Amino acid sequence: MLGIVNGVNNLKGIYGLKKIKHSKLPITLECTDTLDINMLEAIEIFMTEFGWKLWIDEYGNWFDPYYKDPNQLELFDEN
């Protein structure tokens, strides 16, 4: 479960936070609402169920990490 590491609740001091960043990866999670345990669990469930579907990038375009580059040569025809 989110927030429990080695049996210790590490989310006790997060009330009022709107932005968190990963300690190793260059990832920042920013929320217009408060990032409380309910919001973080909702994000975890959403990412587990739907992955990258329904995400929008900073330019307002649908985000798709599996976007095919039209300049990339495909070795096998998938049709």
- Flag whether pLDDT at 10 surpasses 50: yes
Q: pTM for the full model?
A: 0.56
CA distance 65 to 63: 7
Q: Does the CA dihedral 26-57-40-1 come out positive or negative?
A: negative
How much is the pLDDT for 12?
52
**DSSP at 72:** S
Task: Please give the structure tokens belonging to residue 38.
Answer: 């309910």
- Count of CB atoms situated within 10 Å of the CB of 35: 19
**Domain range summary for the chain, segments of one domain joined by +:** 4-50
Convert the pLDDT of each residue in 33-52 to its tens digit: 888 888 889 989 999 998 88
Q: Does the CA dihedral 39-44-47-50 come out positive or negative?
A: negative
